[in-house]
Amino acid sequence: MALLCGLALCQRLWIKVVWGPALRSIELHYLLLHLRTPRERRKAKKKKKRKMRRTGTLGWLKLAPELLQASSKGLKFLLRHSELRHLRLEGSVGTEDVALTGILWGTIRATHGALGPRGSKLELAVTPDFPEGKTSLTLDAEGAVRLGALLATAAIIVWYLPKRKIWRLLREQRRIKKTSWRAGLMTKKKEVEAT
C-alpha cells in the first residue's frame, strides 16, 4: 500500500491553462483522470446585495507582508519542481497615450529578448494597438508538476505562515461577530418590549 501511495505521489499532473477575454479553461490530466473547466464564459447572474459586516480587514492587511513571504517561498519551491512545456502570450497592448503604448510594447519585447535561451519556450505574439488603445491578451500555457511537489508546496506555505498571529486574528474576528450578533438581538428585544 505504501508503495502504491509513493508511486501515486511521483506521477506527473499535467496542467493546461487558456486564459483570455473570450476563452477561460483549465485542464488537468492525472493518470486516468481528466478534469476540464468550461471554455465559454458564463453570463454573470445578478447578485443579491448583502449587508457588509465589519470583520476587521485591517488585521489581515497588517499580515499581508508575512502572508506574501510564506506564499513566495512555496511558489519558488513549486517553480523549481515544475516543468513548462510551452507558454504562448498573444493579443494586443494599447493605452490612450500613443507614447505610453510604445514604451509598454518595447518593454515587453525587451523583456522577452533578455530572457535569452530561457525564453525559448515562450512564444510572444503581442502587437501594439496605437489607434484604439485597447489591451486584450490571451495566455496559453502547458506544464507538469508531480503531485508530491504540490502537497509539499502546501506544507511549505503552512510552515512559514505566522500561525499565532493568524489564530489571534481569527479569535478576534469571532469575538466581534458574536458581540455584533448579541447587540443585534438586544436591540430587537428592546424594540419588541417598546411596542
* pLDDT higher than threshold 80 for residue 118: no
* pLDDT higher than threshold 90 for residue 156: yes
The pTM of the full predicted model, rounded to 2 decimals, is: 0.60
b (16+ CB within 10 A) / e for 57-74: eeeeeeeeeebeebeeeb
Pairing of β 136-146 and β 12-19: antiparallel
Percent of the chain scoring above 70 in pLDDT: 82
Chain centroid to CA 12 = 21
**Segment 25-80, tens digit of pLDDT:** 888 888 888 888 875 555 656 666 655 555 556 777 888 888 899 899 998 998 89
